[in-house]
Amino acid sequence: MLRYLLARFRLSQRAICEESAGRGLGDDFHDYPDTADGQPWHLVDLTCRHCGKTFRI
Ligand SMILES: [Zn+2]
């Protein structure tokens, strides 16, 4: 629960990655600053530069 809140409010990068693991593309705590290029592309697959998970925003 604490980790969920940390991820929800982007207080912990590790919580974001851990809470996002196992979630679907559209149900994910990652956001575009987590990508290598940091561009806010929508409707394309983005990859987290920390954990490598694919997500969309
Ligand atoms: Zn991640």
C-alpha of residue 28 to centroid of ligand 1, in Å = 10
C-alpha of residue 57 to centroid of ligand 1, in Å = 13
C-alpha of residue 54 to centroid of ligand 1, in Å = 8
Q: Could you read off the pLDDT of 1-55 as tens digits, one per residue? A: 899 999 998 999 999 999 999 898 888 999 999 999 898 888 889 999 999 999 9
Which residues, including other chains, have CB under 8 Å from residue 30's CB and lie 6 or more apart?
16, 17, 20, 46, 48, 53, 55, 57
Which residues, including other chains, have CB under 8 Å from residue 9's CB and lie 6 or more apart?
none
Evaluate whether 10 touches 22 at the Cβ level (below 8 Å).
no
